[in-house]
Amino acid sequence: MTSTAQDTLGKARRPRAPGRGVPLALLAPALIGLAFLLVPLLALVVRAPWSDLPEQLTSPAVWDALRLSLVCATTATALSLVVGVPLAWLLARTDFPGRSLVRALVTLPLVLPPVVGGVALLLALGRNGVVGRWLDEWFGVTLPFTTAGVVLAETFVALPFLVISVEGTLRAADPRFEEAAATLGASRFTAFRRVTLPLIAPGVAAGAVLAWARALGEFGATITFAGNFPGRTQTMPLAVYLALQNDPAAAIALSLVLLAVSVAVLAGLRDRWTRAV
Amino acid sequence: MTTHPAPEGLDAHLVVERGSFRLDVTLTAAPGDVVALLGPNGAGKTTALRALAGLAPLTDGRLRLDGTDLARTPPESRPVGVVFQDYLLFPHLTALDNVAFGPRCRGAGRSEARTRAAAWLERMGLAEYTGAKPKRLSGGQAQRVALARALATDPRLLLLDEPLAALDARTRLEVRAQLRRHLADFEAVAVLVTHDPLDAMVLADRLVVVEHGRVVQEGAPADIARHPRTEYIAQLVGLNLYRGRADGHTVRLDAGPEVSTTENLSGPAFVAFPPGAVTLYRDRPTGSSARNLWRCEVAGLESHGDQIRVELTGDLSLAADLTAVAVAELGLHPGSAVWAAVKATQTHAYPA
């Protein structure tokens, strides 16, 4: 009760305290930064060809690109969850030689230019790649320049976001719950599935959203590894880039769609998270 | 204590080394026994408990339960139930599913596990809280759910880590009484860890006092309360304790002065007397029958129940309990010079 009273007192008093204004040296750069982030988005909205918009958005090419983007980003996120959550668990909960090196390698795609990632994927999974050669020879599977290639390129750049996010959540979660589960007869896998996973679910969801957003916006690795074939590998970012060359109005329309999708996801999750807490 | 390991019950010699800390304790108990590991913080009690549960690996020693060697058995395969200090109830599961978790993991079907869990909660007086998440339970209720969860797997060894430490004083009184009843009903070995002598003495049949990773004393609570062998235990049970050499009715203390006692001993001995047995005088008493008389100085005063505890230094460091009136009449304050007297009949000497 005392602490609540103090909190209210503190809250009530803070804005009224005399001579406690925000220093200009902090305020000015902060406002410049804010403007820098908002003005481009605003420009997109202001310059949108609102009259042509319905026509632009109903073109089948746009829907193909949007559908492909959503399907690929979602599949890449699902793939990332399947391998990323166990990888995060391994990094957070076990001790093996070279673990910090492994963590560094996992984070490498975060800082690697996506184009380089695409080149590396070609060298690994291309028809003459280190692994791709065998895939082609044994199973007749070709990945580059296919929709599956888009998913792999997006997974390559999105997975680290998920792993880092989930690993952080795991480290913050109390490992003693797993010990309690062990004393009740749960194997490590059962403890993970029935205790740890439900406890870190919000962190996994946050990581999945990050990964999904990253996959949706993926450009460099995708165009390098999967090419730019409409309907097959041409995702929204690729379509935007291509449209900008010959039909700027279409590029703006496509960008608006991506902006709307991003805002919708952010708004939807914010609501769910605030309710969950 | 026992040279032959009991076929039934717990027979353990726990050696755990971690950095510079070494735990080395021997624990034996028969089914039905409630043993309390009592000791100050950092003595290694919780490490001992974790070693029994399999959560901390043994560096050396042995661990047998009902004749089965468990030293290399992983925690999930040990017939051991644990009540953790802050209970560690799974926050995403209801009370019922928390209790059903153990039976499920040990192979019971979903409905059978839930039936057993419901029966345990009922036994703990929590029938109407089966659907409640841990967040909605009070401290005392959470403690009982944790106990039910640990017991629902029918463990042959029940471990309780500071079972009452997370509770406020009023709940504690009530939960202590309930816990005592449940422990009395429990037919296998129970080991509890506590730093609270009252919890230990109320709940356990036998105390094992651990200091610096070693057993310094063990026995029945009443015996330990009467014959403390370390400063830590003496403080817990509220006695002034000194070590010395006895020669007949006199013990020459290692601290210097001699103490007259009624016991007739020889060789290394302990002398103990309660703070309430000490009488203080401003001037050296002349007609006093007390043979034990020391010059002291008041080091500190502190209220202690309805008495005032006076800490004294000088010929002998000791604690004395006086009424507030006596303190006022003597005009005691830190630095006052006083004479402290204890009658021989109020002291108690026993071999070291």
What integer best gives the mean pLDDT of chain B?
91
- Say whether B88 and A190 touch across the interface (CB within 8 A): no
| Residue pair B227/B239 in contact by the 8 Å Cβ criterion | no
Average pLDDT over every residue of B217-224: 92
Each residue of A156-176: pLDDT tens digit? 999 999 999 999 999 999 999
Which pLDDT does position A17 carry in this prediction?
60
Cβ contacts of A196 on chain B, cutoff 8 Å: none
Whether residue B2 lies inside any domain: the answer is no
Which pLDDT does position A185 carry in this prediction?
95
Each residue of B130-165: pLDDT tens digit? 999 999 999 999 999 999 999 999 999 999 999 988
- Say whether A180 and B55 touch across the interface (CB within 8 A): no
Average pLDDT over every residue of A209-218: 91
- Say whether A180 and B91 touch across the interface (CB within 8 A): no
Q: How does B108-137 read in b/e, with b if 16+ C-beta sit within 10 Å?
A: beeeebbebbbebbeebebeebbebbbeeb
What integer best gives the mean pLDDT of chain A?
87
B223 shares a domain with B178? yes
What is the pLDDT confidence band of residue A271, given thresholds at 50, 70 and 90?
low
What range does the domain containing A104 cover?
A: 73-231
* Residue finishing a domain among B235, B269, B297: B235
Cβ contacts of B105 on chain A, cutoff 8 Å: 181, 184-187, 190
The count of other CB atoms within 10 Å of the CB of residue B325 is 9
pLDDT value at A243 more than 90: no
Q: Tokens representing B36?
A: 């309390």
What is the pLDDT confidence band of residue A18, given thresholds at 50, 70 and 90?
low
Each residue of B262-287: pLDDT tens digit? 888 888 999 999 999 999 998 888 77
- Say whether A185 and B105 touch across the interface (CB within 8 A): yes
Side-chain-side CA neighbours of A233 within 13 Å: the count stands at 23
Instruction: Give the separation between CA B238 and CA B275, rounded to whole angstroms.
Output: 7
Which pLDDT does position A63 carry in this prediction?
85
Residues of A in CB contact (< 8 Å) with B are: 174, 176-177, 179-187, 190, 194-195, 198-199
Residue in chain B closest to A175 (alpha carbons) equals B88
Q: How does B189-219 read in b/e, with b if 16+ C-beta sit within 10 Å?
A: bbbbbbbbbebbbebbbbbbbbbebebbbbb
> Residue B29: which of B55, B49, B6, B60 has the closest Cα?
B6
Phi, psi of B10 (to 5 degrees): -100, 135
Chain B interface, best mutation among A179, A184, A187, by max B CB count within 10 A:
A184
- Say whether A179 and B55 touch across the interface (CB within 8 A): yes
Which pLDDT does position A114 carry in this prediction?
93
What range does the domain containing B249 cover?
A: 238-351
Cβ contacts of A199 on chain B, cutoff 8 Å: 90-92
Instruction: Give the separation between CA B169 and CA B176, rounded to whole angstroms.
Output: 10
What is the pLDDT confidence band of residue A51, given thresholds at 50, 70 and 90?
confident
| A108 CB-contact burial (10 Å; exposed 0-12 / middle 13-18 / buried 19+) | exposed
- pTM listed for this prediction: 0.80
* Residue finishing a domain among B235, B255, B285: B235
Whether residue A266 lies inside any domain: the answer is no
- Say whether A186 and B101 touch across the interface (CB within 8 A): yes
Each residue of B72-88: pLDDT tens digit? 999 999 999 999 999 99
Average pLDDT over every residue of B192-199: 89
Whether residue A21 lies inside any domain: the answer is no
CA distance A271 to chain B (A): 21
The count of other CB atoms within 10 Å of the CB of residue B93 is 18
Write the single-letter amino acid at B164: L
Write the single-letter amino acid at B58: L
Which pLDDT does position A6 carry in this prediction?
45
B245 shares a domain with B208? no
Which pLDDT does position A16 carry in this prediction?
55
Q: What is the CATH number of the domain that holds A127?
A: 1.10.3720.10
pLDDT value at A4 more than 50: no
The count of other CB atoms within 10 Å of the CB of residue A228 is 15
